[in-house]
Chain A
Amino acid sequence: MEIIIQQLLNAAQLGAVYSLIALGYTMVYGVLRLINFAHGDIFMVGAFIGFMLATTLNMPLVLMMPLTMLLTALVGVAIERVAYRKLRDAQRVSLVITALGVGIFLENFVRIVVGPQTRQLPAQLPDSVLKFGSGLIITEDKIWIILISLALMIILWLFVQKTLMGTAMRAVADNSEVIPLMGINLNRVIAVTFAIGSALAAAGGVFYGQAYSIDPYMGIDLGWKAFIAAVIGGIGSIEGAVLGSFMLAGVEVFTVAYLSSNLKNGIAFGLLILLLLIWPSGIMGKPLLKKV
């Protein structure tokens, strides 16, 4: 029983990190119909920005985290502005290839600047060990990672549902051609979407670096996983991205715990195929609405 609770917490922690990345995939897809394949690397850049701020500037987490999110948001906005905007009306293939190129650029840039080694973010979250009754042991940082991630997701949800900018983001997903007729600058909505998606990925990067370790290629594997999670949940759907992330993390953690770590990816990808056979647009995804 204790072991199951511990595994559930591990799954929740991993699911939280996946969610923070998957949200960026799903939001950018919503406004641009683009799978931003550089997004996993934006997550990696976020982790390294956090690492630099925490090590070279000795910044405490309460400062480091928001600043990392802000700086990574700027990176995301710059990528959209420089690499994607001009191609927005080009074939989707060109945009996807560009995104892959941007990702490779980011990996190599970070590798050259900080080196290829694996590193660990300094442990900055409270990490006392909590013991419960019959042998349940929980490290406190896990709880913090899960709680802060959930808080970020709730803030995002409120933003998207309740604010005018959030409404505009949903409207762009519906029908971007009409957006200027509402007096809305489409470029601004898209920039805000990249900023938010990148900031969330950065938070995921910082947490991942606290819980595990970071290297310039971490974004590839994690990016794919989060992308799969977003697709399982229904790409374009915020709730779906979170649901898919926790499901995928659960499957992975329990496969490793009870079957074998070799099976982890096989089962994760198998699950993707199986679920998409049942829900071709993802669990929470809508089939593409025909424009009226």
Chain B
Amino acid sequence: MKLLEIQQLSVSYGAIKALHGIDLELHQGEIVSLLGANGAGKSTTLRAISRMLPMTSGQILYKGENLAKIQAHNVVSRGIAHVPEGRGIFPSLTVLENLKLATWTVKTKQLAPRFNYVFTLFPRLEERKDQLAGTLSGGEQQMLAVGRAIMTDCELILLDEPSMGLSPRLCKEVFQALQQINKQGKTLLLVEQNANMALKIAHRGYVLENGRIVLTGPANELAHDSRVREAYLGTHKHSLGNS
């Protein structure tokens, strides 16, 4: 089943056009990776989906519903959680308070199973649950940001560069958790510059360049595509659009 369908989406920042009519779709249960260099428009795509940014044209359908008319704070209750670039945790709140706040739209009062789930995924968070989030290490903050997404009733999680600034070991830990979350039924749209890591856990991928999708396919094909290897996995940067 198509969970998310983006058609001809364009987004501008004032006069600067950041997305030029992109098409993208996600099926239930998938991990889809959105790759691209700095400034390609990856974060813009995620912000458009979660309605942090207005779209210029095109449409975003989630379970068939057009998101255009929905306000940002109502996107979460539709089932979409967004782990923003730079994590966006609340530094002067405790870990527990950060997680609790994410249950704002949750109807059930039975929160214990959710907390347990987050704490089994990230035992470090449980050890630090009364610590102020601002005092966590970068990796722990990333875990908290992902944990917050899981606390909502979401089916789709948008992740904006969860590997940013993490040591290889912590990065592996976070990606393993993401894989596990996916196995439990959540669909993931994973924005990454670390194409290597992302394509290892993704089922499919899209490559974004200057606001356009230039390549898409199954993750293992992308990982072996010579153009992707040269542009994102290899040593020298080289534009896909010109190849």
Which B residues between 17 and 56 are near A, CB-CB below 8 angstroms? 50-52
A186 CB–B CB distance under 8 Å? yes
B84 & A181 in contact (Cβ 8 Å cutoff):
yes
| Those of B133-158 within 8 Å (CB) of chain A | 134, 138, 141, 148, 152
**B73 & A292 in contact (Cβ 8 Å cutoff):** no
For B88, the chain A residues whose CB sits under 8 A away are: 175, 177-178, 181
Provide the bound-state CA to CA distance between A177 and B148, in Å: 15
Given A167, A179, A181, A291, which contacts B100 in the complex, CB threshold below 8 Å?
Answer: A167
A177 to B76 alpha-carbon distance, docked (Å):
15
* Chain B 81-115: CB-based contact to A (< 8 A → 1; otherwise 0): 11010111111110001001111110000000000
Does A173 contact B92, Cβ atoms closer than 8 Å?
yes
Q: Does B231 contact A (CB under 8 A)?
A: no
- Which of B51, B74, B90 is packed against the most chain A CB atoms within 10 Å? B90
Q: At the interface, yes or no: A289 with Cβ under 8 Å from chain B?
A: yes
B77 an interface residue at 8 Å Cβ cutoff?
yes
Q: Does B72 make an interface contact (CB < 8 A)?
A: yes
**A184 CB–B CB distance under 8 Å:** yes
Residues on the B chain within 8 Å of A286, using CB:
92
Evaluate contact between B101 and A168: CB separation under 8 angstroms: yes
Given the complex of chains A and B, what is the CA–CA distance between A179 and B51 in angstroms?
13
* Binary interface encoding of chain A residues 178-201 relative to chain B, with 1 for a CB under 8 A from any of its CBs, else 0: 111111111000000000000000
CB-CB under 8 A from A178, the residues of chain B are: 84, 88-90
Please judge, given known A-B contacts A168-B104, A292-B134, whether A180 and B90 are in contact too, CB under 8 Å: no
Q: Cβ of A170: which chain B residues have Cβ within 8 Å of it? A: 90, 92-93, 97
Give the secondary structure class of B's interface: loop
Q: Is there contact, CB below 8 Å, between A186 and B90?
A: no
With both chains docked as a complex, state the minimum distance between the C-beta of B62 and any C-beta of chain A, in angstroms. 15
B105 touches A292 (CB 8 A): no
A90 close to chain B: CB less than 8 A: no
Identify which of A164, A171, A182 gathers the most chain B CB atoms within 10 Å of its CB.
Answer: A182
What chain B residues lie within 8 Å of A164 (beta carbons)? 100-101, 103-104
Q: Indicate if the CB atoms of A184 and B101 lie closer than 8 Å.
A: yes
Check if A175 sits within 8 Å of B90, measured CB to CB: yes
Produce 1/0 per residue, B59-81, CB < 8 A to A. 00000000000011111110001
Residues of chain A within 8 A of B86, CB atoms compared: 291-292
Given contacts A164-B100, A183-B73, contact A289 B93 (CB under 8 A): no
Distance to closest chain A CB from B61 (angstroms) = 20
Interface residues of A, count at CB 8 A: 22
A178 to B84, CA, bound (A): 8
Residues from chain A with a CB closer than 8 A to the CB of B73 are 179-180, 183-186
In the complex, what residues of B have CB within 8 A of residue A171's CB? 90, 93, 97, 101
Interchain nearest-CB distance for A188 vs B (Å): 9
A286–B134 CA distance with the chains assembled, in angstroms: 13
Contacts of B101 in A (CB 8 A): 164, 167-168, 171, 182, 184
Kindly state the separation between the CA atoms of A168 and B51 in the bound complex, as whole angstroms: 20
CB-CB < 8 A to A168: which residues of B?
101, 104
CB contacts (< 8 Å) of A186 on chain B: these are 73
Residue of A nearest to B154 (CB): A183
Q: Are B152 and A292 in contact (CB under 8 A)?
A: no
CB distance from A97 to the nearest CB of B (A): 26
Distance in angstroms between the alpha carbons of A184 and B52 in the assembled complex: 13
A173 to B103, CA, bound (A): 19
Q: How far is the CB of B58 from chain A (nearest CB, A)?
A: 21
Are A183 and B76 interface neighbours, CB within 8 A?
A: yes
With A181-B82, A182-B76, A184-B73 as given contacts, are A292 and B89 in contact (CB-CB < 8 Å)? Answer: yes
User: Min CB distance, B152 to chain A, in Å?
Assistant: 7
A181 B91 Cβ-Cβ under 8 A = no
Q: Is the CB of B141 within 8 A of A292?
A: yes
Encoded as 1 (CB less than 8 Å from any B CB) or 0, chain A from 64 to 101 comes to: 00000000000000000000000000000000000000
CB-CB under 8 A from B51, the residues of chain A are 180
Candidates A174, A183, A289; contact of B152 at CB < 8 Å: A183
Known A171-B101, A185-B71, A286-B92; 14 more pairs at CB < 8 Å: A167-B97, A170-B90, A174-B91, A174-B92, A174-B93, A175-B91, A178-B89, A180-B72, A181-B81, A182-B101, A183-B75, A183-B102, A291-B91, A292-B138
Instruction: For the complex of A and B, list the 9 residue pairs with the smallest distance between their C-beta atoms, beginning with the closest.
Output: A183-B76, A183-B105, A180-B72, A178-B88, A174-B90, A180-B73, A171-B90, A185-B73, A183-B104
24 contacts between A and B (CB under 8 A): A164-B100, A164-B104, A167-B93, A167-B97, A167-B100, A170-B90, A170-B93, A170-B97, A171-B90, A171-B93, A171-B97, A174-B91, A178-B84, A179-B73, A180-B75, A180-B76, A181-B88, A182-B101, A182-B152, A183-B75, A183-B152, A184-B73, A184-B101, A292-B86
Binding site for B on A (CB under 8 A): 164, 167-168, 170-171, 173-175, 177-186, 286, 289, 291-292
